[in-house]
Structure 1
Amino acid sequence: MTDKEKQTQRALGLEKGFITRISVEIPTWVSLPVLVKGFSEDEVRERMFSLSDNEKRKLIHHICASLMSDGVYDGYIDKKYLGEEVVDEIQAMANRPIRDLDPKDLCESCVEIDADTGVDTVDEAKTYITEELGIDVENIYII
């Protein structure tokens, strides 16, 4: 597909929705599903590796803030499993201004695309994340 064809497809909203996990290092690794629009897994992976530092900071903040919110945290990660030190660090990062976060905390080498979900569209990916993973639609980060 040429770049012009991709631009047309994007304008029509025909990109696929890929459920992707990328980890943040906060003494241990934590991640949250992120919805990435694209036409192929390779394109999505390339897109994730080329995020700007500001976008990385926003993503780190989103992951930390979402993990600390009641709607996501309880069903997604077990507080006892992480330990108090890690939970305190997640809370501290969630409360830090975005500009003060270090984009290097986002582990690009840990980009994992979930290809077994059977979703194709962005709407199907949102539905899967909300129904299967128990994450509220307003907590889904879309790239």
Structure 2
Amino acid sequence: MMKTEPSTIKTFATLRFASPALDPDILTDILRVEPTHAYRNGESRPWRNGTLKTADIGLWLIATDKFVHSPALKRHVDYIDHLLTKHHKDYLHDPGFKRILHFVGDYQATPTVTLFWHGRHGAAAPKVGTRLPEIVARLNGTLHEDFATDEAEAVAS
């Protein structure tokens, strides 16, 4: 039985690689998962308002909310960990992780992981362990935490 997280309203994570030279097809092959969004530098694509925009950078992005249906941030963190290391304890010697390292170097790609969590008023933000920040640092990437709670409910007078 899945444990519920009653204080969590919404949670997910994103893994993004960006670079002017990025080839998203190569990264899709390395990670073995289709991205949520991907495009090459110079590629025309529809923008939010419906107009076409020419990309000024290559991008590969995956959002975990399409794959992980859980209010527990840890499950979303674990999914990103799995994509990058297949949960190998000694991931620095893993051929798959080495391919990602080479990709980042070859394409001068910037990896970014963003963790999103929105909780009810008064809820404690989840704790992120040390493993994912270490993995992201090994890739010369950045990890951002975007944690917020609802404002205090108005008190009737």
TM bucket, shorter chain? under 0.3
Is the helix fraction higher in 1 or 2? 1
Larger % of strand: which? 2
| Larger of the two Rg values belongs to structure | 2
